[in-house]
Structure 1
Amino acid sequence: MKRNPLASGLSRALFCAALLPASLPAIAQDVPGDTATASATTGAMAAKDLDAVVVQGQIAYRDRTNDIEPVLVYDLEYFQRFEPSTVGDMLKRVPSAVFVSDVLEYDAVQLRGLSAAYTQVLINGKKVPGAGDDRSFWVDRIPAELVERVEILRSNSANRSGDAVAGALNIILRDAYDFDGSYIRVGAMHYDDGEIQPTVAAVTSGEVLGGRLLAGINVQDRYNPKLKRSDRFEEPNGDFVDAEDQTDTRDGQDYSGNVSYTADIGDTGRLSLDGFYVRTDRDQVEVSTEYNARRPEDATEIANVPGLTHVDQENWGIGAGYRFDMAGGTTSFDLDHARFEDKSTESEEEIKYEDGNWDSHEAEALDIDASDSETAFKLAHSRPVGNAGMEFGVDYRTKERESTHTYYAFEADDEGDTVVYELDAVVDSHIEETRLDPYLMFTGNAGALAWEAGLRYETTESEIRGEDGTFSNDYNELLPSVHLKWDIGEANRIQLSLARSLRRPAFNELTPALLQEEFGDNDFLGNPRLDPETANGIDLGFEHRLGRRGVVGVNLFYRDVQDLIEMVNTGEPNETAYDDYADDIEDYMADNGVTEDEAIAAVPFDPNSFIYTVENVGDGKVWGIELDMSTPLTAIGLPNTGVFVNYSWLDSEVEDELGTRRFNNQAEYVYNVGFIQDLPDWKASFGASYRKQGDAYMRVLAEEVRTTYDGDLEVFVEKRFGENISVRLSGTNLLDAYKREYFDKFDNLADQIDRDYDEYELEAEHAGPRYQLVMRWAF
């Protein structure tokens, strides 16, 4: 466990940072302007007309920002013509965004291909709790219609939380200051099975009570019918065991809204209030048929496996901020509270028949009752210091996550018995975290060269309560960051970033609860003493301006990750191991007249099943190259043709008990290529987009999975009517893309090393094309 004294650590950090502007007098000429602060001090309130957003007059390209740190910015208009439903749909078109989930599901985004736990998701620059046990936020919970823009923050800065080894995604919702007007969006989606589902949204903004108010609502049906086929073998190229056909239909609604109010107060003050709400109400119905033959009509053993998952989740957040000029600088206060609630249920039955006769009927169910809330206060002050700019502040944050998983089971005695669940187990956990993170940051520029350097000191006090008691764990991390931006003329730019970041342990890794046979025949026990993983990272990028609106960029990145959280064997055999020797123990008790404990201690056995836990035991490396381009083809006489290309090559290295592997589920590459053709004389446009993601590989105790995806083709055609109406038809998954998974399953680590298979499974899943017709009307 790391325990750094707060006082001495903070004093060293502030002392080092305070020396920074003095050590760079030659290049510190003036302070880069901050657009948000500049607007706040002038009191001017300019807003973009919503009809310009709804009925686009020209193609939108990736924005080139003036940020010193490496940031990619994409306005909603960049994605809108393909009519994305959610932020997840939007992100599949940006560099290095990987999704390893079901077909046409884009929930947990993996920047740089790393698991979602390594990506920080912000809404309006603020942390929010999410559905993932690994602290991830599912981006498919936010509808695209509420979004103004998304920012890909490739490296850390001192004035943001450091939980971003792979980078951070900042979802900026539409706010009152930036937009003026109203519009309505109505549409419907047609699915491969003939189902038609509606969607409706509305946004309005204008002057209210001396300020500006924006409100938006969105209601959309979420529907995803899929077909799956699984074939299982004793081992690769081995004897056939059984097969499974499954229908998997996800049907529900998402209800969401956001509100924003902004008002200027006095000569320099600005008050901002904002809030958002998202509710997911969805049923996932899975109906499987398992049979011990290639075709069900040839089977002697058949099992019907119906399953139902009801998802009932809510995300909401509220925030308030006030900024004003004070003491020769600008001071800001921010207070926000966000909450996630999950009241979902899962159930599955299995009814077996042998030679047409009933054999058995078993069922299991799970009730989930989880809540996760975060409250934060931030105080910051920025001001000029000599020829540099200085910002210092402190973030205070409390987090409380409560979770109760209640497991039920049923086993019938006779055919036709009614399912009556009996309590099987209850797993409770309660995690509280308190953070106090002071930071200090300096910025400056000397003409073409701009720089930013800062230090952030993150302190965390945590308390974990579970069935085995209450545990405390405190850790502190010093996170330095340095960014350089060098503009070479008006067209070229080089950026270099060095930053330290971290990943906090997942909740299921911290919870001290014993989960039986979680990994093959092995049990798992959480470790509340875990420290966070840390990473030293570098980003080196080059960007070139193509004409007035085009941009092409290349970025190289590297992360050296320490204190990796990896699975380790406690050395303690689990109950399954003892069950394997139950007959020997009983014989010893009968022959020697001893108790069971005495027999267990006396009977020699070689266990294969153990209790595993997680510890900070490893190191890893991540690296890759990211290319992106978006530009009109003006240079070849096609100003109304826009092309979009991005490609990311991703790699990594981790050592585990079986040797070297990549980080789990990191795709080898991902790319997207597309075009938009505008027809101004006809007030129309059309375009296409193609995305392909490389293989992803996962290796954990007793199981290995390789996941592949076919390419995804999307197209749209659009017609604009006057200045206020647009109608757009779009198609998704037009190639009927398949997801395929290859499972290598083992009973324990020894069998995994020896390649002694328990089962080898091939699974294929697809969902079919879908079409959407949408109309927008601005007024």
Structure 2
Amino acid sequence: MSRLLVALTALCVSALSAVCAAQSPPLPRGSPVAASSAASAPAPAASGVGNRLDRVEVSSGPTANSRRRNSTASKIVIEREDLDKYGDTALGDVLRRLPGVTIGGRPGRGGDIRMRGMGSGFTQILVDGERAPAGFAVEDLPPDQVERIEVYRAPTAETGARAIAGTINIILREPLVKSNHELRFTLGQDRGEPQADFSWTRNLKWGGANGDEFVGAVSTNGGLHRRFNNIDSHNRVTDTETGEVTQEIAQIGTSMGRSANLNGNGRLRWKYSDTLSFNLSPFFALSQNEGSSHNIAEGFQLDEDGSRNPYLRNVHGDSDGRMHNLRLNLSASYRPQLGETWDIRLGRGGFKNTSNSVRDETGNRLRTQVDRNVVDEDQTSLSGKWSLKTAQEHQWVTGLETERSQRMQVRDTLVNGEVIPGLVKFGNALGSRNQRVAAYTQDEWSPTKQWSVYAGVRYERIQTTADAAGSLPETRNVSQVTSPLFHLLWKPEAFPKDQVRLSLTRSYRAPNLNDLIARPSINATYPEGPNYQTYADRAGNPNLKPELATGVDLGLEHWLPTGGIVSGSAFVRDIKSLIRSEVQLETVSWDTSQRWVSRPRNMEGARTMGFEFEIKARMDELWEDAPPELQLMLLRFNLAVFDSKVKGIPGANARLDQQPKGSLNFGIDHRWKAWGQNFGSGFNFNYVPASKVQQTLTLRREETARRQFDAYLSWASGSVRDGINWRLSIANLIPRATSSSSEGIATNSDTGHEYLTESWSNNKTFRVISLRADLRF
């Protein structure tokens, strides 16, 4: 089967040979060409198969391929080379090129990360093996601060079971002993708006007989960005009985956002003795942003007597915000004997976010709304872990984790200088606490060279308490989950290049604080009187239970002679107590009219499944007689297909929220020589098909397909030691607008008529160009 896959792939790309041969001069067989990835860089192959020499690598540590290949649990590893390749300024853009990973937001600008098509809440985010601190957003962490990324398709006891879709573990920068300093400067433009980024890393090493008593790395980076967006949204209400349009409004305008950020982290290790070492890991993130928008909402709506009433709103908005996130981790590692390690870690952090916004409406209604939000949270964590590797090829790991956080949230809303009467009863301040305790044990055993077995169990208890505020009583929610986990890796003796993986796991998703708090958030487009399903208010549900998922993963990997891979994997998740926001018409305390309100609720459940296929290989691994100019070209292709069914909702489109039908990536990276200079170049095409989701019996949402084409060109100037590496990157080279729409059917309690409400928006995307200079000295 693997030979057939390789042959088909070679056939698909062989048509590129004539074009590439014309653009790239032939390389002599002795030419030194740098590797374009971990899967490339052997000596050029001879023309005959029998004379081909496989690459031999000498490395001081594990590579991305070895980490992936030797792990019993299925995972993908992204090293620094892949992080640097396209010059991305958003971490989500790096992950988007992996099989089964999609992101939200406009193409070219990053966004929330979704594994296997599921919403961001299904994906667990870790930083250095720990859950991300409060207020942490992956899209705000620049790739320059990251050493590598590990993507787990199924949970393990040590990494945690709050990972129905999977886990992304972000490892921050580690010391680079080959150079003391790393500097990077990036200048770019996004629709003509200037962008600037910089990063600096200082590698440290001193003390002791071998000069390695103290080893560390300190990194900092910052950026200034301006981003333009269009506003193009529409709303229409139709009486289904008469076919008459009773309301139609279009909002057309623009917005501009400006932001400044400064981030930093350090990893400092003190080797006290051969058996004891201490580690200090500080982290900080500071940001400030402001924005302005202007749009004209124009249309009409019918009065009760059927007369047509013009609708005109001239809306201007201003906003600003500040955020700081500080964290310090202290850890100690003690190795009393060979193979045994004791680790203890203490973490302390704080997060504060302040935002203000003003919305002015003129036209046939005068209205000013002022919103102020302050979130202040501190967090303390303590964890301990014991691991033992025995002579019988057992690797035991047992650990205990505890975490406590406190949050204070203040929210004020004024309309024309006065508090909304309906919101007074809820108060403006809310305190909450979160306590988490987890215990786990796992054993990874390799009884033979062909078999590796992993078995583990993890218990986790989370208690969330929100204080009484106004008329809201104290909210207390407790979730407890025990997760058995099993992974199996088989390397068939008759096929030494092949591997088979099987995982049986139980994972879960706990409700977050905003889902639990019942305090409402009023829709700004229709802040008073009747609203519509597609413009619903939002409120929480303190009675939510955690989602529980039973999962099966099956994967096959075929490793090519010089590090390439052809793999396929399938998964099934059976989810119970699915949390989903449902829109219902309610009699509310904050308005005299009935309002449509979106609240998270536990449904019966859902089942999701999918298939992911990946090829990552050099051309001469796929095509034995590839021309010399194509042999070192790296091909990347992955395809993912997803499907899901939410129980209790009829129809073919009763899918999980935000889940597309799949994703596709195709890219080529190549190293070539011209004018006596070594160049690197490549491109990647990403495609996510259109999706339709039946959210409730009467509400449906659609999104158009997303296409993104990225390209880069890299070269070096100066000497190898003191030269500058340049990289020109173009994200979203061929901009294409995206759109989304919603429609729902509701019955008017006064007239008894059914009404169809439709809303849709068109979002422009823009080409993002950047030039980066990379120095090491």
TM-score category, normalised to shorter length: 0.7 to 0.9
Q: 1:341 aligned to 2:352?
A: yes
1:512 is displaced (CA, Å) by 3.2
Change (3 A) 1:215 1:195: same
Correspondent of 1:58 among 35, 50, 61 = 35
3-state SS of paired residue (2:657): coil
For 1:248, the aligned partner's letter is S
Q: Distance in 1 between matches of 2:318 and 2:597?
A: 31
Q: Distance in 1 between matches of 2:395 and 2:714?
A: 47
CA contact (8 A) 1:322 1:334 kept: yes
Correspondent of 1:124 among 108, 122, 128 = 128
Q: Distance in 1 between matches of 2:178 and 2:546?
A: 41
- 2:434 matched to which residue of 1? 433
- 1:107 matched to which residue of 2? 111
Q: Distance in 1 between matches of 2:613 and 2:542?
A: 40
Q: Distance in 1 between matches of 2:714 and 2:277?
A: 39
- 2:451 matched to which residue of 1? 449
Segment drifting more, 249-258 vs 678-687: 678-687
- 2:463 matched to which residue of 1? 461
Change (3 A) 1:771 1:471: closer
- Equivalent positions of 1:61-210 (< 5 A) are 61=38, 63-64=64-65, 65=68, 66-131=70-135, 137-176=136-175, 180-192=179-191, 194-209=192-207, 210=213
Q: 1:218 aligned to 2:221?
A: yes
CA contact (8 A) 1:622 1:653 kept: yes
Correspondent of 1:720 among 716, 722, 727 = 716
Change (3 A) 1:113 1:284: farther
1:697 is displaced (CA, Å) by 4.2
1:705 is displaced (CA, Å) by 2.7
For 1:265, the aligned partner's letter is Y
For 2:709, the aligned partner's letter is L
Gaps of 5+ in 1: 1-54, 132-136, 294-298, 353-358, 411-419, 581-607
CA contact (8 A) 2:83 2:143 kept: no
Segment drifting more, 397-406 vs 106-115: 397-406
Q: Distance in 1 between matches of 2:702 and 2:654?
A: 12
CA contact (8 A) 2:317 2:360 kept: yes
- 1:644 matched to which residue of 2? 636
Q: Distance in 1 between matches of 2:33 and 2:342?
A: 38
- Equivalent positions of 1:456-535 (< 5 A) are 456-467=458-469, 468-488=472-492, 489-515=495-521, 520=532, 525-535=539-549
Correspondent of 1:771 among 762, 769, 774 = 769
CA contact (8 A) 1:129 1:373 kept: no
Q: Distance in 1 between matches of 2:576 and 2:685?
A: 36
3-state SS of paired residue (2:474): strand
Change (3 A) 1:331 1:409: same
CA contact (8 A) 1:537 1:557 kept: yes
- 2:681 matched to which residue of 1? 686
- 1:315 matched to which residue of 2? 325
Q: Distance in 1 between matches of 2:443 and 2:520?
A: 48
1:279 is displaced (CA, Å) by 1.8
Share of identical aligned residues, percent? 19
3-state SS of paired residue (2:658): coil
Segment drifting more, 312-321 vs 446-455: 312-321
For 1:535, the aligned partner's letter is A
Q: 1:705 aligned to 2:701?
A: yes
Change (3 A) 1:510 1:538: same
Q: Distance in 1 between matches of 2:520 and 2:202?
A: 51
Q: Distance in 1 between matches of 2:566 and 2:271?
A: 38
3-state SS of paired residue (1:626): strand
1:129 is displaced (CA, Å) by 3.2
Q: Distance in 2 between matches of 1:625 and 1:225?
A: 37
- 2:614 matched to which residue of 1? 628
CA contact (8 A) 1:61 1:630 kept: no
Change (3 A) 1:342 1:483: same
Q: Distance in 2 between matches of 1:184 and 1:245?
A: 43
3-state SS of paired residue (2:92): helix
- What RMSD in Å do the two structures reach over aligned CA positions? 3.1
3-state SS of paired residue (1:407): strand
3-state SS of paired residue (1:155): coil
TM-score normalised over the length of structure 1: 0.80
- Equivalent positions of 1:379-394 (< 5 A) are 379-384=384-389, 387=392, 388-394=394-400
CA contact (8 A) 1:675 1:689 kept: yes
CA contact (8 A) 1:107 1:141 kept: no
For 2:341, the aligned partner's letter is T
3-state SS of paired residue (1:469): coil
TM-score normalised over the length of structure 2: 0.80
1:696 is displaced (CA, Å) by 3.9
Q: Distance in 2 between matches of 1:154 and 1:560?
A: 15
Q: After superposition, what is the alpha-carbon deviation per residue over 1:738-769, rounded to whole angstroms, capped at 9, x for unaligned?
A: 12111225567999x99622x32331111321
CA contact (8 A) 1:464 1:528 kept: no
CA contact (8 A) 2:237 2:755 kept: no
- 1:15 matched to which residue of 2? none
Q: Distance in 1 between matches of 2:502 and 2:599?
A: 39
Q: Distance in 2 between matches of 1:327 and 1:754?
A: 78
1:288 is displaced (CA, Å) by 0.8
- 1:670 matched to which residue of 2? 663
1:320 is displaced (CA, Å) by 1.9
CA contact (8 A) 2:319 2:355 kept: yes
1:85 is displaced (CA, Å) by 0.1
1:438 is displaced (CA, Å) by 1.5
CA contact (8 A) 1:306 1:349 kept: yes
1:624 is displaced (CA, Å) by 0.6
CA contact (8 A) 1:512 1:526 kept: yes
Correspondent of 2:278 among 271, 296, 307 = 271
Q: Distance in 2 between matches of 1:514 and 1:543?
A: 49
- 1:756 matched to which residue of 2? 755
For 1:473, the aligned partner's letter is N
CA contact (8 A) 2:657 2:693 kept: yes
- 1:739 matched to which residue of 2? 738
CA contact (8 A) 1:566 1:618 kept: no
CA contact (8 A) 1:646 1:671 kept: yes
Segment drifting more, 331-340 vs 250-259: 331-340
CA contact (8 A) 1:481 1:500 kept: yes
Q: After superposition, what is the alpha-carbon deviation per residue over 1:628-664, rounded to whole angstroms, capped at 9, x for unaligned?
A: 2222112324332111112211111113567671111
Q: Distance in 2 between matches of 1:94 and 1:479?
A: 27
1:400 is displaced (CA, Å) by 2.5
Q: After superposition, what is the alpha-carbon deviation per residue over 1:457-490, rounded to whole angstroms, capped at 9, x for unaligned?
A: 1123332224212233333211110111112344
Change (3 A) 1:395 1:648: same
Correspondent of 1:370 among 370, 375, 378 = 375
CA contact (8 A) 2:221 2:264 kept: yes
Q: How many residues align structurally?
A: 669
Q: 1:350 aligned to 2:355?
A: no
- 1:565 matched to which residue of 2? 579
- 2:248 matched to which residue of 1? 241
Q: Distance in 1 between matches of 2:748 and 2:603?
A: 18
Q: Distance in 1 between matches of 2:532 and 2:657?
A: 18
Correspondent of 1:545 among 559, 566, 572 = 559
Segment drifting more, 231-240 vs 219-228: 231-240
For 1:690, the aligned partner's letter is F
Q: Distance in 2 between matches of 1:572 and 1:289?
A: 30
1:180 is displaced (CA, Å) by 4.5
Q: After superposition, what is the alpha-carbon deviation per residue over 1:70-118, rounded to whole angstroms, capped at 9, x for unaligned?
A: 1100112113221000212211111222223244332321111111111
